[in-house]
Amino acid sequence: MSFSAIILAAGKGTRMRSDKPKVLHKIGNSPMLHHVMDVAKKAGAKRTVIVAGYRSNLVTGAAKTFSSEAEIVVQQEQLGTGHAVKQAKDLLNNSDGDLLVLYGDTPFIQPETISKMIKTRRECDISVLGFNTEEPSMYGRLIANGSNISQIVEAKDASEEQLKITLCNSGVILGKATLIFDLISKIKNDNASNEFYLTDCIELASKSGFKCSVVLCDQQETIGVNSLKELAQAEDLFQKSKRVEFMDNGVRLHAADTVFFSFDTIIGPGTEIEQNVVLAPGVTIEENATIRAFSHLEGCHISSGSRVGPYARIRPDTVLSEGSVVGNFVEVKKSVIGPESKVNHLSYIGDAKIGEKVNIGAGTITCNYDGVNKHKTDIKDEAFIGSNTMLVAPVTVGEKSVTASGSVVTKDVPDEALAFGRSRQENKIGMGKKLMNFLRKQKK
């Protein structure tokens, strides 16, 4: 069944206490809007229309970042959910397919749930997503007879008897686009909020002889985010879900509650992750890698059999090749570490290409920045970089070459050469004792 998705994303989110549009607040380091757009895509939406409002330029930019094909319409005044959906009429009213309405602040709806709605929709005119809860609170109530729904009543407008109903509305609906837009044109705002409720479409449809059916989901999928407290709770739910997902797929988490993932994190089976690890956006880890404690990774690719940390920082545009090692207190940025190469401790590698089976000694720094421009360091296969070497880029170190510990390397090193780049040591007999005596007297 062909369908288009409308994502309502116009609200300011006053309770967020922020100038940022509500849907751009992040869960798993990605805007909530991206989570919902991803669900629409995975569920099979042919087109996705974002209804923006408050600071629509920011919402538009975020939507286009996720998908250049996203279409944007602007709701100049926020007059209710029905009014918001109506803004997409000119784009979608002539569509032969269905229309799915989603919400940019409800990020946990699953593609499988939408698939159930699509299946139900084959036997009805409008499919409505609902859930049961012991605490219905301010949720709209579904007035149902079995699986058929005749009305959705908002809590503000519900009678005491209706408020006892525990079957609640998620807000998500699926139906033929032309039918939904026709129903929206007939709704009125004579309610407690003076808004045009999308939910009123159900009563109008039912009275006109159309069949509306409910599809049930877990309440957790319908959780909306309206405050920073709720955002924190949503983040917690996201992380717990990701931990279970990865463990089910063969990733060992030594202290699961202390490992934090991003929306786009990819990890292969057999990988082990120790405690207090943060995986920021853009991290891909292949199978059988090891990420040791207190490491921070972002925008990088970790190949099979590699080892990172403890206390390592892997920054964007870094690739660790198979069997490579980045050890404790090492920072790597925009570099390729070749197969079986080792950067074991206390080093900075930036804007570098390191070949196969290279050993980088402790305290090595690629001096890649001259204050204006960044420069490249190229270290060829099987080179040995002595401890405390400063590689002043641009510079190339040849195959099987060696740099002496403490060297400052400013010129290219030929293959198999030994490079010294340090001043000659002189020993002044007795001067050490004299110097210390002098300093102690000065201190008094």
Query: Is residue 431, in this structure, part of any structural domain at all?
Result: no
| Residue 251 confidence (pLDDT) | 98
Cβ contact 171:85 at 8 Å: no
Strands 47-52 and 126-132: unpaired
Read off the pTM. 0.91
Out of 222, 238, 267, a domain closes at 222
Each of the 444 residues of the chain gets a pLDDT tens digit; together they read: 799 999 999 998 899 999 999 999 999 999 999 999 999 999 999 999 999 999 999 999 999 999 999 999 999 998 999 999 999 999 998 778 999 999 999 999 999 999 999 999 999 999 999 999 998 888 999 999 888 999 999 888 889 999 999 999 999 999 999 999 999 999 999 887 889 999 999 999 999 999 999 999 999 999 999 999 999 999 999 999 999 999 999 999 999 999 999 999 999 999 999 999 999 999 999 999 999 999 999 999 999 999 999 999 999 999 999 999 999 999 999 999 999 999 999 999 999 999 999 999 999 999 999 999 999 999 999 999 999 999 999 999 999 999 999 999 999 999 999 999 988 889 999 999 999 999 999 887
- 289: closest CA among 248, 322, 246? 322
Do residues 132 and 236 share a domain?
no
Strands 377-379 and 252-253: unpaired
The set of long-range contacts for 141-149, using a CB threshold of 8 Å and a minimum separation of 24, is 141/165, 141/167, 141/168, 141/169, 142/167, 142/168, 142/169, 142/214, 144/214, 147/213, 147/214, 148/211, 148/212, 148/213, 148/214, 149/202, 149/206, 149/212, 149/213, 149/214
Cβ contact 50:67 at 8 Å: no
Do residues 324 and 408 share a domain?
yes
CATH number at residue 407: 2.160.10.10
Q: How far apart are CA 347 and CA 390, in angstroms?
A: 10
Query: Is residue 100, in this structure, part of any structural domain at all?
Result: yes
Do residues 197 and 247 share a domain?
no
Instruction: List 402's β-bridge partners, or say none.
Output: 384, 418
Catalytic (active-site) positions: 345
Q: How far apart are CA 374 and CA 370, in angstroms?
A: 7
- Assess whether the previous peptide bond of 310 is cis (omega < 30° from 0): yes
Q: Say how many domains are in the chain.
A: 2
Query: Is residue 426, in this structure, part of any structural domain at all?
Result: no
Structure tokens at 361: 């000694």
Cβ contact 56:74 at 8 Å: yes
Do residues 297 and 280 share a domain?
yes
Structural domain including 108 reads 3-222
Q: Strands of 254-297 (E only): list them.
A: 266-267, 272-273, 278-279, 284-285, 290-291, 296-297
Do residues 234 and 206 share a domain?
no
Do residues 168 and 64 share a domain?
yes
Instruction: List 9's β-bridge partners, or say none.
Output: 52
| Residue 190 confidence (pLDDT) | 86
Do residues 234 and 212 share a domain?
no
**Alpha-carbon distance values, 69 to 2, 5, 45 (Å):** 17, 13, 12
Structure tokens at 218: 């877990």
Query: Is residue 49, in this structure, part of any structural domain at all?
Result: yes
Query: Is residue 325, in this structure, part of any structural domain at all?
Result: yes
Out of 199, 222, 245, a domain closes at 222
| Residue 353 confidence (pLDDT) | 98
CATH number at residue 137: 3.90.550.10
Cβ contact 23:8 at 8 Å: no
Do residues 181 and 281 share a domain?
no
Out of 222, 240, 271, a domain closes at 222
Query: Is residue 441, in this structure, part of any structural domain at all?
Result: no
Do residues 72 and 162 share a domain?
yes
Which phi and psi (to 5°) does residue 258 adopt? -105, 5
Letter string b/e over residues 181-215, b meaning 16 or more CB atoms within 10 A of that residue's CB: bbbbeebeeebeeebbbbbbbbbbbbeeebebbbb
Do residues 269 and 356 share a domain?
yes
Query: Is residue 424, in this structure, part of any structural domain at all?
Result: no
Do residues 200 and 248 share a domain?
no
Instruction: List 151's β-bridge partners, or say none.
Output: 143
3-state DSSP percent of the chain in helix, strand and coil, to 5: 25, 30, 45
Do residues 254 and 216 share a domain?
no
Query: Is residue 334, in this structure, part of any structural domain at all?
Result: yes
